[in-house]
Each structure stands twice: as C-alpha cells, then as structure tokens.
Structure 1
Amino acid sequence: MTDLGIDHDARLPYYEQLKQLIVREIARDNLEPGHLMPSEAEMCARYGVSRTVVRQAVGELVNERVLQRMRGKGTFVAKPKLSEQFMESTVGFFEDMTSHGHSVSSSVLSIDRVEVVGRARELIGAAPGTHCIEIVRLRAVNDEVVAFTKSYIARDDEAILTQLRAADLATVSLYRILSDQFGLRIDTGHRSIEAVAASGMLTKLLEVGPGDPLLYIESVARNAAGDVIECFLAWHRADRMRIEMDVVRDSRSSAGVDSLSHG
C-alpha cells in the first residue's frame, strides 16, 4: 500500500501508526471515494502486523468516516456523507438536496387513497376511519439509494390524488407541487429523529444488512393556521446521511443561561 512501514521501536501503538499510513496513502495517491482497499490479510503481510492491529486501525477509520465497509464486498475509501438541514427550514428533502448541488430522483412505489392508521394517524391527529393520500417512495441522491419514505397528505381529495398520480414526483418536489398547484403551503413543522436497526424489507430496499444503523425521521408540516398539511415517516441510511441543525437561544432561557444542554 505504501513504501513506509511500521516502526516497531516507536512508542506509538501499531494500530495508530497503521491508521496514519492509510490516511497518508489516501492523500498521497488521491484515492477517490469508492476505491477498494487491501484486504486484512494483505495488510498483515505488508506491514508485519496481526489481524487484531489491522482490525482496530480499520475499525477506527470506519468510525471516523475515512473508510467504509460494505458487507461481502470489502473496505473502501468512504464517500462524504450527504447533509440534510434538520431545523429552521420548511423545505423538503428534494429542495434541500438540490440546493446543495446534488441530483435527486425518486422511485414512486405507490400513490393511493388509504385509511390513515398507526403512527401516521397520531401525527396527523386524525379520527379513526379517516382517509388521506399516501405516497411511498424510494429516494436516491446522485444515483445512490439513501432513503425510504412514506408521505401522508392530510386531504381526502380525489382531484389532488389524480393530479399527484399524473405529476412527475420522480424528479419534482412534492412540497412545491402542493404549494403551486393546490395552495397547500407549509409554514411550520416539527421533526424528530432516532436511531433504529435495519430489518425486514428495509434491508432490501436500502441495500443494507440486517441490524445496520438507520436514521428514522418523523415529520409533521402545517400551514399558517396550524392545520396539518402533510406528515412523513422516513428511514435514511446512516452510512450515507447526516443531519445538521442550528442551535438558537430559547426565549425561556433565564438571563445569561443558554438552553443548549440535554437537561
């Protein structure tokens, strides 16, 4: 991998030296994201270190997002994570990603009138038996699948359903369509996020392994009057996405105290 080797007389642990060698190699040879790295056995032979050393070095570089493991394929130079603005914004996923220069596309799996149940009914605050429009999509950024989403338009309107089915939701923002065509403008909202493990159909849809980490997001969007326009449930690949947010002083803060803690 490089003509430099492990200094067995140095006080720096072998795994830390190996980490530095790998990072130096990536920079020196301008290795692109997606470049396949040598196997554990190859690194052991090349540097005269044990598998334990290699695994610790590579594991820490994976945690630091320098490298990326792909189940059954090997270890690669990591791609930079896509950033989604989480707070202080009413734009949707499409507008957020395209504003940062990314190409966004969606595979629309279904658009139907459904009885809203479970968590979606709780988020909308709908009575039992209420119907709405459900849009199920697989979202891709720069031709790579990153999220599976279920959006619920809090309207039981056949005209809206018909026009949404005719719209190009594969390449156009849902929020823009709701605003421009139906006057359903989103002014405020609330989002929450938690870590979950991939299982069932999500592993196939998102091309991840069972137990791999996902970012699960719930969102409720409202108009100026406070009426729910839309809510969504989304599962994002944690290895490809990160959430960014701005922190502001809370008006409830006492003088000289910022409400930035977890308390």
Structure 2
Amino acid sequence: MVAPDYNDLLLAWSSGLKRDTPVPYYYQLKQMIKNDIESGALKHGDQIPTEHELSAALGISRPTIRQCMSELVNEGYLVRVKGKGTFVTGRKIEANYIQRHQSFHTMVRESGLTPSTKVLSFKLIPGIPEYNEKLQIPITDELFYLYRLCLANDEPMLLIESYMPAKRFPGLLEVDFSDNELYATLRSKYGLKPLMLIREIESRNARPEEARLLSIPRNKAISYVTNVALDEDNVPFEYSVSRYRSDRHKFTVYMRC
C-alpha cells in the first residue's frame, strides 16, 4: 500500500489528469511530479510509489507510468536504487550565470536549499605557464591554488579549482574558505572590484576522481566550465575550472533578438 503521506499527492495527481485532452498521460503526470519537486511538496530523498501503486491509484497503465518515471530519471529529478525503489533527487539548481555572475551559495539559496563548502586543498604552488599566461603574470610567479567541493543540502554539486596570483593577495592562506566566499573575501580584504568573466562551457565525461567526489557514476556527463575573471581595470585576478553535475543544474540564458 502507498504510505499515508502520499494520499493527498495521489489524489491531486489523479484529479489533475485531464482525460479529455490529447496531451499524453505520461507527460501530464511528469509535469505534476516536477512541479511538486520544484515547490518542495516532494523533497530530496522522498520515495516515489511503485509503478503498481501509481497505476492503481491513477487509473493509467504501468507502461505509461514507466515512461514518466524514466524521463524524470533521465532529467535528474528522480533516481532508481536497485532493490529499494525510486527516490527524489531534489530540485535542480537554476543559474542565470551565463548572463551574470552568481556565487554557488547564492544560486543554492535562491533554489531554497542550504549551501556548504568543503576545502579539498588550499596552498601556494609554483607558477603553471598556461595559467600564469591567462592571468597575465610572469610564468615564474607563484599561485594560490584553492580546490573546493560545493554541496547543497549536503549533496555534492560542484567542484571548483581556482588559481590566483599570490603576489596580489598576500595573507590569503589565512582565510577559511569553508566559511567564507571567495569573491566576497577578495572584495572586503583587498578592495577588489570584479568586472566581468570570460567563460567557456563544454560537456565532458567525469573522470574517476571527479565522479567519486561528485557521487555520480563514472563517465557520466558533467558541465565543464572555465573562467578568467577580470577586475575593473580589466586585469585578470582568477582562473578557475568548475565541474557541475549536469543532472542537478540547469542554466538559463537571456538573449536579445
């Protein structure tokens, strides 16, 4: 039997199905479940009723239910756990970051979730010619290397590697970036005024270590994003490489026609 907590949802889904429309049942149900995830009525970790339970409660066939569930899994809203069932993964984090810069913490809070950060590495390293060139500094200059895992409701979402000129930010190693945001720190501690980002986006398959840290299967597609950040004088101050879970993010772009 379906758990009592689902009675109201099942009733809403059943009454929400339009029986006299050409819109397929699987699509109608899919949209209702997505809306309940986005609104928070269904939360991360909630178990979805079985195909049999949904079919009986809604009066539609199991193949129709299966198609609906498969599409929600493919879109990252649900996950199937062998031997246990189908569970909600949670709302996708929506970023308008292609148009304007948003910190991860801002994106997560705007999605109604709780952000946190784990610092995987933070140290002074020798210059890397390719990155020093992007930062427009001598190839012999040292860099600060900051590697972070960003989480939403304790679920891994994003890996960020940042490279910054060490000479420009003396004392930066004293900052705990598990509790402080990078750009907010650079503004307050060094008077930095970020102006713009030069951003490149592509899709790649996750490498084993990336997959382990992001808690995703090996070779699953991720969004691979590189940034060169410029200050108000058009001087680069950070080069970063970010790896977003593509099943838990969506990016919104606004364009003039």
Of the three residues 70, 79, 87, the one matched with 1:76 is 87
Residue segments in structure 1 that go unaligned for 5+ positions in a row: 5-9, 249-257, 259-263
1:177-214 CA-to-partner distances (Å, cap 9, x unmatched) read: 11211123211221122222222111110111112221
Matched, 1:62 2:70: no
- CA RMSD between the two structures: 3.7
Judge which range, 230-239 or 39-48, deviates more.
39-48
Is the CA contact 1:98–1:104 (under 8 Å) kept in the aligned structure 2? Answer: yes
Query: How many pairs were matched up?
Result: 238
1:208-237 CA-to-partner distances (Å, cap 9, x unmatched) read: 111222111111111122111112111111
Matched, 1:223 2:231: yes
Judge which range, 233-242 or 34-43, deviates more.
34-43
Alpha-carbon distance, 1:93 to partner: 2.8
Matched, 1:140 2:185: no
Q: Which one-letter code corresponds to 1:188 in the other structure?
A: M
Alpha-carbon distance, 1:170 to partner: 1.2
Residue segments in structure 2 that go unaligned for 5+ positions in a row: 3-9, 15-19
Alpha-carbon distance, 1:63 to partner: 4.3
Alpha-carbon distance, 1:68 to partner: 1.2
Matched, 1:154 2:165: yes
Of the three residues 199, 207, 219, the one matched with 1:199 is 207
CA distance in 1, matches of 2:103, 2:75: 29
1:107-128 CA-to-partner distances (Å, cap 9, x unmatched) read: 1111111134376445334554
Aligned to 1:237: 245
**TM-score, structure 1 as length reference:** 0.72
**TM-score, structure 2 as length reference:** 0.73
Aligned to 2:204, the other structure's residue is in SS state strand
Matched, 1:33 2:62: no
Of the three residues 107, 115, 118, the one matched with 2:118 is 107
CA distance in 2, matches of 1:27, 1:229: 40
Alpha-carbon distance, 1:39 to partner: 4.8
Aligned to 1:252: none
Of the three residues 218, 221, 225, the one matched with 1:213 is 221
Aligned to 2:178: 170
1:46-92 CA-to-partner distances (Å, cap 9, x unmatched) read: 98967x65543322233456x41255464223522111221343453
